Structure 1
Amino acid sequence: MKTVFVAVNARYSHSSLAIRYIEKYNIKFNPELMEFSINDSIGSIYSALVESGADVYCFSCYIWNIEIILKAAELIKKAMPNIVIIFGGPESGYNSDELLKKYNFIDTIIRGEGEIIIGKVLELIQQGKRPNRFYQGECVDLNSLKFPYTTLDIENLKNKILYFETSRGCPFRCAYCLSSADSNGIRYFPMEYVKKGFKFFFDKKVPLVKLIDRTFNCDSKRAVEIVNYIIENSTATKVHFEIEASILTDELISVLNSAPKDMFQIEVGVQTINHEALTAVNRNYDLEKIRYNIRRLTEPKNIHIHLDLIAGLPFEDYNSFIKSFNFVYSMSPDMLQLGFLKVLKGTQVSERFTSDIKYAEFPPYEVISTKWISASELLKLKKVENAVDMFYNSGKFFNSIRSISEKPPYDNNPYSLFEQLGEKTKRSEKAGKLANTAFYEILYEIFGDCIIEELAVDFIKNNKTARLPKFLHREMSKSFKTHCIELINNPNFVESYKISGNLKDLRFEHILNKVFVMDYSNNLFFDITEWF
């Protein structure tokens, strides 16, 4: 009997932790792993699955992939009527009755943790018995789980993000999160297992490991021990995890502040500062303490900080969201993630606010409007989200955006800056897809010469070969290129700036009566006007 565990990831750069845990726990069935992304065509997924020639196909279902999986599963069942199709994962588990009734090509659905129960189901199939249509998963003893990665996995997942966990469950009961429906509580993997796992990643020089722990610092002493281990042993691996900022301890902040630059990415779900909204979704915390703790984390500038907001929460209107945005922006995160409420089946939000929130009945079940915020206002926030991603999160306009947001009226209401950029970008896109330089030109059209030097710096830093935007005029003399070549052959010049001596790594620009050089190999930028 051949069994295939199938994952369809949200991006090509992602990988699936779930199917690897289940594979290692059920290694006696010698299962095969097959991974795709939602950007793959149905035809290519279908043909790969059929060509694998398996007897059993087990799909890992989430809101981002359920529609693709349903189509692929239907096709392979029609092509191979005798196969068994099993669905697992949160998007099938909390919707099992509806899925089984609507789609007769699904043979079995498993809800909850799958490591143990999938083995029992495969055992039945191997014996020639027909499994039930539904099974409730069993809470696995984390001491019994094998490490989900092998050296072969690392080779196969080169250039992809690897996921890991040090705990399961969450101590909080956020009304919009499926963890609020989990009755198993918080469980921890053995510390020896966690450290061995990280050592494996470090030895393999894995670039990025993302922890899927719901709240990494729910046990602060344990978190301190893990962070210390990472600091002491990682040489090339960056670790990303999510924390609850209101419960950060002085000890954990101190340890994180001592970490080498860029070793950690930390995500904090602020979500909103509206107290009524926070109460409605079971997230009561001290906002000033959050602000204080995040500022302490950002002070050394050694950690990449992501702060999250959710639009469409109960009791939050448009003006309230603006206040939440400005609160988060004031903490200068490296990334500001503006998300939209997903009304997931099985959550308290889906049960308590049925008449107050309108949302899509299909995945990802995103909010359309609420009693407090209109559909048109949420569409306006979509434009703001795009503007934040392009002009802030990309980092390509760092100097320009910082300069603008420090000036009136944006210094008191930075939200209005991204609202303006969102509208302008949307209008510009009507003429077709925007070229890279168009976003610099959008900023120049709105703000003009007051930020022209900042725009020049941002452009040169982020564009090695692209032509200058129309508003920047190169001052080129016959001797300029010759002088640039002379400089990189001048040991005093190269040593003064510690830049590459290879012209292919450099960009020299004579603009705005200044001369700039960018070394892309070392990410170094200088004003070198004094050398001309």
Structure 2
Amino acid sequence: MEVNSIRVALINPGPLEGVKSQEMLQISPPLGLLYLSAVLKAENYHVDLLDLVAYQYNATQVMKWIKQKDPDIVGFSTLIIPSSCVSAAVMAKEIKSWNPNIKIVFGNKHATYNDVRILKKYPFIDVCVRNEGEYTFLELINTIVKGQPLKSVRGITYSSNGNIIRNDDRALIRNLDELPFPDRKSLKYNYKMKFGLLDLAPYGFSSILASRGCPHNCSYCYGRDYMSYRMRSPENIIDELELLENENYRMVNFVDDNFTVNKKWGGKICALMKKRKIDIDWVCEGRVDQVSLELLSSFRRSNCRAIFYGIESANQETLNYFNKKTTPAQAELAVDKARRARIPFIIGSFILGAPNERIQDIRNTLKFTWKLDIDFPFINLLFTSPGTGIWKDLVDKQLLDEEKYWEGGVQVLDIISKAGSKNRIIGLMQQTLREFFVRKDFIFKQIFRFFSNSYKLHAAIKVATSNIQNFRNFRGAGSFMMAKKAVNQPGEDSKTHM
């Protein structure tokens, strides 16, 4: 094979029949695949990309696309949710049936934690790429092109002569600045910035990754054991933001697991935004114990329009189980600091359904959403999957059958609950959200803030005109209740992987 003749197709899988679900309320660019595309194109490979989460093709449309592109290698970015990993397996089987010579490669978290199970169950899948995929996938393709054995490619698991071979891990990329910027031009879809079903950026939106990994080890997430924390240089980040602005992007979401880890680094990014006159709105996530008024004020001065806090619970026992190492008092203080910094929108994330939670604990957290001075609450039911601390804990205690749930994960309430039925808890969530947005004190505060903050006023008009349908019968409010906890940003669970 010659390099220039090799055609690679990269697919971000989604529900095959285009059925919308709460897993897809936020559709963001698949950054992991966009990084892969950029790396491969730099080596003169031909790459086509299909985001099924956005386009929602059915199986017939997918196969039509595949036949038109006629790839030699197809890579799937697979998450541990049915609409991703199961759909990918169905598509992979169809593709292999059409052309047995196509190499099928799975990547991302599903391939990282379930690599051996995947290859045992689906013999038509050739290779699993574990952890970060850019250089592993590139070397894998180079090796295939040269017709060489795969035993030297670090970071892959593959089948050979009926045996499953798991090569050594590949070291993580230490210098993130060496990577090319994501190949956003390969996707023409108009992605939108959403909170629930509210469109806050109906056009000109993308996501950006300023760091990888997290120094913390929350038990519902994949944690630092999965990927150590590394930051891009502020200068490299600003170069990408400048490029995005020149390409008419108007809002970006920093999809870092935690944008507030390093105050000096975050402050320098904001200073460079001002120095180089970057006029682009942005959103980020932060921990409640790692924000200062000074840092948040610098965020606001450089056009931070919303901050998303992982608050999770009003109960210290639950926070301890999540290994958050935070307190409810810190959450209140963090929200207050964001208010004083005049960041327009403050969003809080909450998780219900920890194994030891009782109904009163659930009620405490729901009441806490009202006590905090936030604009939007996102309320999630605890979800767990292979690779997380909670998954390991429940397996070790023989409360979870991993052979039953490895392929799609599971809501913890489906296997253990001291708080009553899941339907009862969902009912409480819905009631809380309906009442959250119609409280008199909340409405009066929002009216005052809309007219005292020009950005918030313009955003309110934009939201109102774009979302009238969403608020009929409280559909808009209900959109802030998630069916499960996304351990990374939606659409972005493929942030750094293939």
Q: Does the alignment reach a TM-score above 0.5? A: yes
Q: Is the 8 A contact 1:169 1:214 kept in 2?
A: yes
SS of residue matched to 1:252: helix
Residue equivalent to 2:197? none
Give the distance between the partners of 1:405 and 1:144, measured in 2 at CA. 48
Is residue 59 of structure 1 aligned with residue 97 of structure 2?
no
Residue equivalent to 1:32? 48
Give the distance between the partners of 2:249 and 2:419, measured in 1 at CA. 44
Is residue 100 of structure 1 aligned with residue 100 of structure 2?
no
Among 136, 153, 160, which residue is 1:117 paired with?
Answer: 136
Deviations 1:418-459 (A, max 9, x none): xxxxxxxxxxxxxxxx9965559x9xxxxxxxxxxxxxxxxx
Counterpart amino acid of residue 56 in structure 1: I
Alignment RMSD, CA only? 3.0
Give the distance between the partners of 2:10 and 2:284, measured in 1 at CA. 26
SS of residue matched to 1:34: strand
Name which of structure 1's ranges 62-71 and 42-51 shifts more when overlaid on structure 2: 42-51
Moved over 6 A (4+): none
Give the distance between the partners of 1:404 and 1:11, measured in 2 at CA. 25
Is residue 20 of structure 1 aligned with residue 39 of structure 2?
no
Give the distance between the partners of 1:149 and 1:2, measured in 2 at CA. 16
Q: Aligned ranges for residues 124-523 of structure 1 at < 5 Å?
A: 124-129=143-148, 131=150, 133=158, 134-135=166-167, 136-140=169-173, 141-149=175-183, 152-153=185-186, 157=190, 159=203, 161-182=205-226, 184-230=227-273, 237-258=280-301, 263-299=304-340, 301-354=342-395, 355=397, 361=405, 362-369=407-414, 371-374=416-419, 376=421, 378-386=422-430, 392=436, 398=437, 400-402=438-440, 438-439=473-474
Deviations 1:368-392 (A, max 9, x none): 346553451x222323444566665
Q: Percent identity?
A: 18
Deviations 1:152-182 (A, max 9, x none): 3586556474221111110100111112432
SS of residue matched to 1:298: helix
Q: Is the 8 A contact 2:48 2:69 kept in 1?
A: no
SS of residue matched to 2:37: helix
Q: Higher relative contact order by CA 8 Å / sep ≥ 6: 1 or 2?
A: 2
SS of residue matched to 2:147: coil
Task: Summarize the Cα distance change of 1:328–1:233 in structure 2 as closer, same or farther, 3 Å threshold.
Answer: farther
Give the distance between the partners of 1:5 and 1:35, measured in 2 at CA. 8
Give the distance between the partners of 2:427 and 2:416, measured in 1 at CA. 21
Q: Is the 8 A contact 2:213 2:224 kept in 1?
A: no
Give the distance between the partners of 2:236 and 2:144, measured in 1 at CA. 32
Is residue 69 of structure 1 aligned with residue 88 of structure 2?
yes
Give the distance between the partners of 2:393 and 2:311, measured in 1 at CA. 22
Q: Is the 8 A contact 1:116 1:138 kept in 2?
A: no
Q: Is the 8 A contact 1:117 1:138 kept in 2?
A: no
Q: TM-score, normalised by structure 2?
A: 0.73
SS of residue matched to 1:214: coil
Give the distance between the partners of 2:280 and 2:125, measured in 1 at CA. 40
Deviations 1:296-338 (A, max 9, x none): 2124654211101111124222211211222232113221001
Q: Is the 8 A contact 1:206 1:236 kept in 2?
A: no
Q: Is the 8 A contact 2:366 2:432 kept in 1?
A: no
Q: CA deviation at 1:75?
A: 0.8
Residue equivalent to 1:467? none
Q: Is the 8 A contact 2:307 2:343 kept in 1?
A: no
Give the distance between the partners of 1:238 and 1:388, measured in 2 at CA. 30
SS of residue matched to 1:368: helix
Q: CA deviation at 1:96?
A: 0.8
Counterpart amino acid of residue 15 in structure 1: P
SS of residue matched to 2:283: strand
Give the distance between the partners of 2:63 and 2:410, measured in 1 at CA. 26
Unaligned runs of 5+ in 1: 393-397, 407-433, 443-532
Q: CA deviation at 1:207?
A: 3.0
Q: TM-score, normalised by structure 1?
A: 0.69
Q: CA deviation at 1:232?
A: 5.9
SS of residue matched to 1:112: coil
Which has the greater radius of gyration?
1
Q: CA deviation at 1:32?
A: 2.1
SS of residue matched to 2:351: strand
Counterpart amino acid of residue 283 in structure 1: K
SS of residue matched to 1:245: coil
Residue equivalent to 2:487? none
Counterpart amino acid of residue 146 in structure 1: P
SS of residue matched to 1:76: helix
